[in-house]
Amino acid sequence: MEKELAKSRGLELIKRSKIAIVGSLDAHGYPVTKAMFNAKHDGLREVWFSTNTSSKRVGGFRTDRRASVYYVDEDTFEGLLLVGTIELLQDEESRRMLWVDGCEKYYPQGVYDPDYTVMKFTAVRGNYYHGLRNIDFEVR
């Protein structure tokens, strides 16, 4: 499988996924994962999530920004792994960009709720697989 085809199929998988599996490191350096809503993405390069500032996950990213974002379709045996780093953002533009009706369930004080944090993931490389075949690629 050619790299451009793998990337284009990976992008299709992101588009049809409701959730992404975010990988991070816990306080003891163990790899941990959590499903998050796939809020916004820009190609394969950037993925954006909203999260609670007070969560353990966010605390971890303050000390180690290494992360991954994974999408899987268990019916078609396809998976896309993106590897990169997380930035935590609380500026107004980022907050407004991800805010949608229903967010007040998680952040009762609204768009300026101090417990509302935007996580921006930036990929540097990835791997796409389908069945038994898989291919590594760089992300720019």
- Residues of this chain that interact with a second copy (CB under 8 A) are 18-19, 21, 23-26, 28-35, 66-68, 70, 72, 74, 79, 81, 83, 105-106, 132
CA gap 139, 8 in Å, rounded: 12
Closest approach, Cβ 43 to a second copy, in A, equals: 20
Instruction: For residue 118, give the nearest of 87, 75, 82 by alpha carbon.
Output: 87
Considering beta carbons, is residue 68 or 117 the nearer one to a second copy? 68
Considering beta carbons, is residue 28 or 93 the nearer one to a second copy? 28
CA gap 86, 121 in Å, rounded: 4
Q: What are phi and psi of 48, to 5 degrees?
A: -120, 140
Considering beta carbons, is residue 40 or 65 the nearer one to a second copy? 65
